A and B are shown apart, each in its own frame.
Chain A
Amino acid sequence: MNSLLPYLITAGIVFTLGIFTIIYKKNAVGVLMGVELVLNSVNLNFIAFARFVDYQLNGQLISIFIIILAAAEAAIALAIILNIYRLKTTVDVTQVSEMKN
């Protein structure tokens, strides 16, 4: 609890699971969930290093900006997914291979 290593191991496991989710899911919303897992694990790393190495707030501020970017990214990605669904009636990322219909 008072050492850095459990946080780093947790962040590493969740990062790996996020990468696995991005590759494994065919549903575009599932891919988005994998991206959220990756961003969360990176956030945990930043905050753990801010507490155990930096002793200041820089890591926490960076993770605030990461949260802002994640929110913007989720909104844009879902708008794109809804548009794809309207055009093709599928959200399977393996079947959406052209940029212009």
Chain B
Amino acid sequence: MEMQEILFYAILAFTIFSAAIVAFANKIIYSAFALLFTFIGFAGLYVFLGADFLAVTQIIIYVGGILVLILFGILLTQKIYDLKALAAHNPLFLSLSGGLFVAIILAVILSKNPWFRLVDKALNPTTSAIGKAILTDYLLPFEIASVLLLGALIGAVYLARVEGKKK
């Protein structure tokens, strides 16, 4: 087995293991830090798929943005000394059967299709091609996404502001 392959399967195992920690950890802060490692593992998989721009975007947006938001959300909403509230979960059996249902559907779909494709195409840098595609073929979704982000910005500020300062 080559070195690259060992690294690939190590990253796969790392990603799945930290995703499992996100799912099963008792304390929400452990879940958040495991989520950090899951995002980094996904960025490594994107590198193996030849998506260099997306790997960097994944780290910048997910780790630098969304994960920090989630950590702030945890820190602002936890009663740290209330241990019963920290470990509260829905019934494990129901959740496991729900997850198993999805897993069975996905396994059936995976096994019914001949998805063993091999490719040894050279990996090209994708950044300039993505930039060109965004400004030509994907211009309308790009503009709609910018309007959506503006709306989300205003909406988040409106929702999270402290009311009742006027009186």
Contacts and interface: CB of A to CB of B under 8 A. Distances in A.
Interface of A: 1-10, 12-21, 23-30, 32-34, 36-37, 40, 43-44, 47-48, 50-53, 55, 57, 60-61, 63-65, 67-76, 78-83, 85-86, 89-92, 94
A32 B74 CA distance: 11
Given A14-B19, A79-B160, A23 B46 contact: no
Contacts, number: 219
Contact of A15 (B20, B106, B153): B106
B66 A74 contact: yes
Give chain B's interface residue range (CB within 8 Å of chain A): 35 or more
Nearest to B129: A57
Contacts of A25: 28, 31, 89-90
Contact of B148 (A9, A32, A69): A69
Given A43-B58, A60-B51, A73-B152, 16 more contacts: A4-B115, A12-B103, A14-B38, A17-B20, A20-B96, A24-B23, A27-B28, A44-B45, A50-B49, A51-B50, A65-B141, A71-B65, A74-B69, A76-B159, A79-B157, A85-B76
